[in-house]
Amino acid sequence: MNRRGFLKLATGGAVGATLLQAEACGMPLRQQKVAKVPAPRLEIPTTCDMCVNKCSLIAIVQGGVVKKLNPNPENPKSRGMLCARGNAGIQQLYDPARIKHPMMRTGERGEGKWKVVSWDEALDFTAQKLSAVKEKYGPQGTLWSSSESFQEQFFRNLGQAFGSPNSVRHPTLCLASVNLAYSLTFGTVPSFDVQNARYIIMSGANRLESFITPDTMDLVASTTDRKARLVYLDPRFTKTAAKADEWYPIRPGTDLAFILAMLNVIIGENRYDKEFVSTYCSGFEQLAEHVKQYSPDWAAEETQISSKHILRVAREFSDAAPRAMYYAGRRSSWYRDDFSMRRGQAILNAIIGNWDRQGGMVPNAKVELGELMFLPWDDPTAPRVDELDRNFPLAAKGDGVYLRLRENVIAGQPYPVKGWMVYKQDPVSGIPDQDKTLQMLRQMDFVGVIDIQMSDTAWFADVILPESTYLERLDPVEMLAGIRPVVVYRQPVVKPLYDTKPLLEIVQGVAKRLNLSQYFDYTMEQWIAEQVKALPMDLPLEYLKKHGVYSSAQFPKYGTTLTPDHRFVTKSGKIELLSRRLQEAGYDPLPIYHPPTQVPEGQFRLVLGRHAFFTHASTTNYPWLNSFSTENTLWIHPKPADSLGIKDSDRIEVASGSGSIRIKARVTPKIRPDCVFMQHGFGKHSPWLRLANSGGSDAQLLETAWDKVSGGAAMHETFVKVRKV
Amino acid sequence: MTNRPKRYALAIDAKKCIDCKACVVACRAENGVPLGKSRNWINEELRGDWPKLMEVFEPEQCHHCEEPACVRVCPTGASYQRPDGVVAINRSECVGCRYCMIACPYDARFFRDDLGVVEKCDLCARRLDRGELPACVETCPSKVRIFGDLNDPTSEIHQILEKRQYRVKKREAGTGPQIYYLL
C-alpha cells in the first residue's frame, strides 16, 4: 500500500485499524483515490504451491502487492481452475505467522524461546552441528527429511554429498503402496484417463475432496455431462459419495475381497479381454485358479455389499471396458496389507484390457527437459538406518520407510542418528504416533528446519532457516508427466517480503561451510537455462516467462505401448498378473485376502480423509480456509453416539493405544456406525499457528503400523475409545 | 429476454458443485470481503438416513433481479441497476440504512460494520468492465456457473437455457431473479 493512501485513510481511526487488519490478512486493499497515477497492474504467470498439483496461475500484482491469484487456462492439467487453497495463496505470502528471519533456540526445545540471528550465524551454527554429528557418528548419523518441491533435489543432494544415505520422503505416508503395486504389475505407474471413462470404480479415493488435477475436474464432467457411471466404496459419505451413482459403505479393510470377487466373476464368466491378456500379460492361468475361491457370496460376507451388487458391478465394469477403470487411490497408506489391495486393482484393470486405451489407464507421457551437469559426489557407503534391503527389499530406496526408520532411530539401531535436517515437512503433526516422533526428535543432538511457517516441527527445532514462499521465488522448471504432460514455470511475482532465501541459496550456504561448495557450483538461472534448452522452440525461457506453462498439442497419445514386441519394465517383459519379483522377494506373487482386524467391542476404527480446502496439515492456519472449519470434529454415527450419550458438539475424549485427545463430536449419519473420522491438521502445538491450535491431532491417536511390502503407514488400523467429558 | 442491449445472468449447474469453496475464497480475495461475511455461499442439504443418503450443494449469491426490490427501497439511490442488468451499490451514496437487506428475498446482502455500508455480489463489475469473468465463475474447478449475456444468442448461457430446463428461486417474490438453476 502506498504511504499517502494509508495516511489519508488513517484519518478515520476505525478505518485505519481495519485496513491494518486487512493488510495482515492479505486482503487486497481498495484503490486509493488520492493516487494520481495508479501503479501498473501486472499479470505474472507462475505456478501454485499450495498443494502438490502445481496448477498454473496468474498473479495480479499492483504496486508490489499481490492483489489476486487467477487461474491460468493455458495449463491442460489444471484446466483453468484455481481451488480454495490456490486462491488463499495470498495468505501464505502475507501470513503473520511466517518465519521472517533466521532464528535460533535459546530455551529448551519446544519452550518457544528464540533469538533472531543473521544468516551467517544460522548457517555457521547448522554447519558446526552437522560436522559435530559427523565427527562422532559418521555422516550416516544425519537424517534428511523432505517433501516435494521444485527445489527439493538441492536439499537431497546436500544430504548425499554430506555422505548420508538417510533421506526420508513422504511416499510411505501416502502413495507408496499404489506406486509399488502398479510398478510391479506394469513396470510403471500410469495415469487414469478419467475424462474419457464410461465406468469408474473408486475405493475410498475421495477425489472430489482430495484434489488431483485433472482427475477431479474430469470426474465431475464425466459423471454429469458424459454420464459415466461412478461406483464408490467408502465407510464415509464424502462429497464424492454424494456425487456417485452408487455408494457402498464397505466394511473397512475389505476392498480386496470386493476386487477378488470381481476377478472371480469376470474370469469365471469369460468377460476378460482374452486377446489382450494372451498378448500382453503373464500369469493368467495361476490368477484364474487363484480367484476361484473368492465368490461374490463370500465377498458379500466380508464387505457387507450384497453379492447381487458385486455381480452386477463386475458385469457392468467388464461391459464398459476398455473405457472402464478401477481408479487407483492416492493416499493409499491404510492397512497392513494395503499393497495386496492395490495389486488386486492393477490386475483387475489389466485383465479387462484398459491398458493404454482411451478411457482407461495410460502410461505417463513426458516432455524432455535438459539437465545441468554438476560435479558428482561419492555415493554414501553406510547402509540405510531403516534397513530397507532387509525389511522392504522392493521399496523405493530414495524415499525410505518413515515409520520403520523412526523405530530404528529411537532404538539407535543399527547405528545412532543424531542430526536431523527437515525441509518443507512437518513430521511432528504429519506422522502417526506423535509421541514417538517427539521421542525421536528429543534424542537428536541437532534439529534444523527449513520452512516458511512455524510448523510443529519447527517449534521443536534448534535452528530455523526461513525459505521464501512460492510467490517470492524462482524455481527450477518442472515437468509434470501425465496423459497430457506439461512444463510449468515458477517465477517470483514480488520480492521477498522478509529476510528469507530460496532453498538453493540455503543449501549453498550450508555447503560452503561444510566445504562442499564444489557440488553446488551453479546458479538457479544456469540450472533453468540448461533445462529449457531441450524445449522445442527458439526462445523457451521467454515463452515460459510469458505463459507460465508449456504443453504440446501432440498429446494425448493412446496405444504407444500396444505393440506385441513392447517390453514392459518387469522381469518377464509382460504385464505381470503373477509377479516374479514378488515371488523372488518371498512375498505372495498373487494378492491373497487377509480379513482386517475386527473392531474391538466398544471401540471404533479411526479413518482419515481430506477436505478440499485444506492441504494435509499445512493450511489450517490461513483464515480464509480456516473459516470453513475453525476446528476439527470427530464424526460419529447417531446410533453409537446415542448409546454413549453423546450429542452433536459435545466435548469428547478420544483415546487409542498411542494417546488421547479432546475434541468436539459431530454426530452425523455420514459415517458407518463402527468408524469415526477426523480431519487432519488441527491440535497443533506451535502457538504461532493459533487458528490450528483448536481441535485435536490425529497424529496423537494413530498407532505405529505399516504395510509389510511397501512400508506404507497403515493409518486405518487404529481403534479408539470415545467418551463424553 | 429483456429490452436491454445486454443482460448479464448466471446459470448454475448445481449437480456439478462439489462444495470445495473455491468460489467463496476467490470472491473474498477479489472483493476484499471481510471474514465472517460472504458475497457468495453454498447451500448444503443432506437428506435421508444412513445408508440411503443424498446430499446436494447449491451455490448462491445475489440474483441480479430484473425488478430488484433492493433498488426500489433504497432511499439514496446507492443501490442501482446497470444497463447490463448487474445490480450494484455505490458505496459513497450508501448511508447504511439497511432497508435493502430487508427487501432482498435472497438474503444476499450484508452490512459492513467497518465501513458502515451494505455490500453484496456485483458479479465482479470491475472484472466485467475489463472483459474478464466474475472471479467465482472463472476459478471454479468443476465449472458450475455459466456466466454471460442472455440477449446474445451465441452466448453459452443463452444456448444452454434454450436447451435445458431450469428453475429460479422464489419466483413468487416477483423480483425477476437472474440466476437460473439448471435441472
Q: Would you call A569 exposed, middle or buried from its count of C-beta atoms within 10 A (0-12, 13-18, 19+)? A: exposed
Query: Where a domain ends, among A64, A93, A122?
Result: A93
pLDDT value at A18 more than 80: no
Q: Chain A residue with minimal CA distance to B41?
A: A628
pLDDT value at A137 more than 60: yes
A373 and A357 within one domain: no
Which residues does residue B119 pair with via DSSP β-bridges, in sequence order? B110
Least confident segment among A183-187, A359-363, A564-568, B6-10? A564-568
Q: Do the Cβ atoms of B53 and A241 come within 8 Å?
A: yes
ipTM over 0.90: yes
What is the average pLDDT across A107-134?
Answer: 97
When CB atoms are compared, the residue of A224, A249, A628 closest to B15 is A224
Q: Do the Cβ atoms of A209 and B18 come within 8 Å?
A: yes
Q: Chain B residue with minimal CA distance to A221?
A: B142
CB contacts, 8 Å: B34 with chain A: 22, 27
A112 and A60 within one domain: no
Min distance A326 CA to chain B CA atoms (Å): 21
Mutate to test the interface with A, among B40, B42, B139 (most CBs of A within 10 A): B139
Query: B39-78, pLDDT tens digit by residue?
Result: 999 999 999 999 999 999 999 999 999 999 999 999 999 9
Cell 561451510 identifies what position?
A513
Do A426 and A456 contact (CB within 8 A), yes or no? yes
CB contacts, 8 Å: A216 with chain B: 18, 141-142
A287 and A409 within one domain: no
Mutate to test the interface with B, among A9, A30, A48, A70 (most CBs of B within 10 A): A70
CB contacts, 8 Å: B143 with chain A: 81, 217, 221
Q: pLDDT at position A34, please?
A: 55
Q: CA torsion A311→A314→A316→A317, rounded to 10°?
A: 170
Q: Do the Cβ atoms of A623 and B35 come within 8 Å?
A: yes
* Residue A539, domain CATH: 3.40.50.740
Q: Do the Cβ atoms of B57 and A242 come within 8 Å?
A: yes
The arrangement of strands across the sheet holding A41-47 comes to A41-47, A56-62, A65-71
Radius of gyration of chain B (CA): 16
Average pLDDT value for chain A: 94
Tell me which residues of chain B have a C-beta less than 8 Å from any C-beta of chain A. Answer: 13, 15-16, 18-22, 24-26, 28-30, 32, 34-36, 46, 48-51, 53-57, 114-115, 135, 138-143
Q: pLDDT at position A10, please?
A: 36
Mutate to test the interface with B, among A32, A58, A62, A82 (most CBs of B within 10 A): A82
CB contacts, 8 Å: B138 with chain A: 70-71, 80
Q: Chain A residue with minimal CA distance to B17?
A: A220
A579 and A535 within one domain: no
Min distance B65 CA to chain A CA atoms (Å): 27
User: E-strand spans in A347-411?
Assistant: 361-362
Q: Would you call A223 exposed, middle or buried from its count of C-beta atoms within 10 A (0-12, 13-18, 19+)? A: buried
CB contacts, 8 Å: B114 with chain A: 14-15, 18
Q: Grid coordinates in use for A310? A: 458385486
Q: Chain A residue with minimal CA distance to B37?
A: A627
Q: Do the Cβ atoms of B20 and A25 come within 8 Å?
A: no
SS (H, E, C) A601-669: CCCEEEEEECCCCCCCCCCCCCHHHHCCCCCCEEEECHHHHHHCCCCCCCEEEEECCCCEEEEEEEECC
Q: Chain A residue with minimal CA distance to B48?
A: A669
Q: Is residue A334 part of a domain?
A: yes
Domain range enclosing A691: 604-724
Confidence of residue A8 (pLDDT cuts 50, 70, 90): very low
Q: Is residue A226 part of a domain?
A: yes
Q: Do the Cβ atoms of A624 and B36 come within 8 Å?
A: no
Least confident segment among A11-25, A284-298, A498-512, A646-660? A11-25
Q: Is residue A590 part of a domain?
A: no
When CB atoms are compared, the residue of B18, B32, B140 closest to A28 is B32
Mutate to test the interface with A, among B30, B50, B136 (most CBs of A within 10 A): B50
When CB atoms are compared, the residue of A69, A86, A243 closest to B18 is A243
Q: Do the Cβ atoms of B29 and A624 come within 8 Å?
A: yes
A395 and A328 within one domain: no
A356 and A375 within one domain: no
State whether residue A134 is helix, strand or coil.
Answer: helix
Q: What percent of chain B has pLDDT over 90?
A: 97
Q: Grid coordinates in use for A452? A: 516458511
Do A661 and A696 contact (CB within 8 A), yes or no? yes
pLDDT value at B1 more than 60: no
Q: Is residue A197 part of a domain?
A: yes
Query: A29-85, pLDDT tens digit by residue?
Result: 444 455 578 899 999 999 999 999 999 999 999 999 999 999 999 999 999 999 999
Q: pLDDT at position B2, please?
A: 59
Do A101 and A117 contact (CB within 8 A), yes or no? yes
Residue A314 CA to residue A307 CA, distance in Å, equals 10
A533 and A387 within one domain: yes
- Cis amide prior to A363 (ω within 30 degrees): no
Q: Is residue A35 part of a domain?
A: yes
> Per residue in A47-56, is it b (16+ CB within 10 Å) or e — as a string?
bbbbbbbbbb
A240 and A198 within one domain: yes
Do A631 and A231 contact (CB within 8 A), yes or no? no
Q: Is residue A599 part of a domain?
A: no
Beta strand pairing status for A446-451 and A419-423? Answer: parallel
Q: Is residue A658 part of a domain?
A: yes
pLDDT value at A17 more than 70: no
Min distance A660 CA to chain B CA atoms (Å): 28
CB contacts, 8 Å: B28 with chain A: 27, 87, 624
Amino acid at A62: Q
> What's the structural domain count of chain A?
4
Query: A655-699, pLDDT tens digit by residue?
Result: 999 999 999 999 999 999 999 999 999 999 999 999 999 999 999
pLDDT value at A455 more than 90: yes
Read out DSSP for A268-296?
Answer: HTT-S-HHHHHHHEE-HHHHHHHHTT--H
Min distance A445 CA to chain B CA atoms (Å): 43
Q: Do the Cβ atoms of A88 and B29 come within 8 Å?
A: yes
A512 and A413 within one domain: yes
pLDDT value at A14 more than 80: no
Q: Do the Cβ atoms of A239 and B19 come within 8 Å?
A: yes
A691 and A644 within one domain: yes
Q: Do the Cβ atoms of B142 and A627 come within 8 Å?
A: no
Q: pLDDT at position A5, please?
A: 38
CB contacts, 8 Å: B21 with chain A: 84, 612-613, 625, 628
Q: Chain A residue with minimal CA distance to B47?
A: A669
Min distance A83 CA to chain B CA atoms (Å): 5
Q: Do the Cβ atoms of B35 and A624 come within 8 Å?
A: yes
* Residue A84, domain CATH: 2.20.25.90
A350 and A388 within one domain: no
What is the average pLDDT across A499-506?
Answer: 98
Amino acid at A11: T
Q: pLDDT at position A487, please?
A: 98
Query: A473-500, pLDDT tens digit by residue?
Result: 999 999 999 999 999 999 999 999 999 9
Min distance A476 CA to chain B CA atoms (Å): 26
Q: Chain A residue with minimal CA distance to B36?
A: A627
CB contacts, 8 Å: A669 with chain B: 46, 48-50, 53
CB contacts, 8 Å: A242 with chain B: 53-57
CB contacts, 8 Å: B13 with chain A: 224
Q: pLDDT at position A35, please?
A: 54
Q: pLDDT at position B3, please?
A: 73
- H or E segment and range at residue A143: strand A142-146
Residue A195 CA to residue B68 CA, distance in Å, equals 41
Query: Where a domain ends, among A40, A65, A93?
Result: A93
Q: Which domains does chain B have, with CATH numbers?
A: 8-182 (3.30.70.20)
Q: Do the Cβ atoms of B30 and A28 come within 8 Å?
A: yes
* Residue A686, domain CATH: 2.40.40.20
Q: pLDDT at position A97, please?
A: 87
Q: Do the Cβ atoms of A612 and B114 come within 8 Å?
A: no
Query: A164-218, pLDDT tens digit by residue?
Result: 999 999 999 999 999 999 999 999 999 999 999 999 999 989 999 999 999 999 9
A225 and A343 within one domain: yes
When CB atoms are compared, the residue of A25, A27, A82 closest to B22 is A82
What is the average pLDDT across A142-162?
Answer: 97
Q: Do the Cβ atoms of A68 and B29 come within 8 Å?
A: yes
pLDDT value at A11 more than 80: no
Confidence of residue A277 (pLDDT cuts 50, 70, 90): very high
CB contacts, 8 Å: B59 with chain A: none
| Closest to A477 in 3D by CA, of A465, A491, A463 | A491
Q: CA torsion A608→A614→A620→A622, rounded to 10°?
A: 180
Q: Is residue A593 part of a domain?
A: no
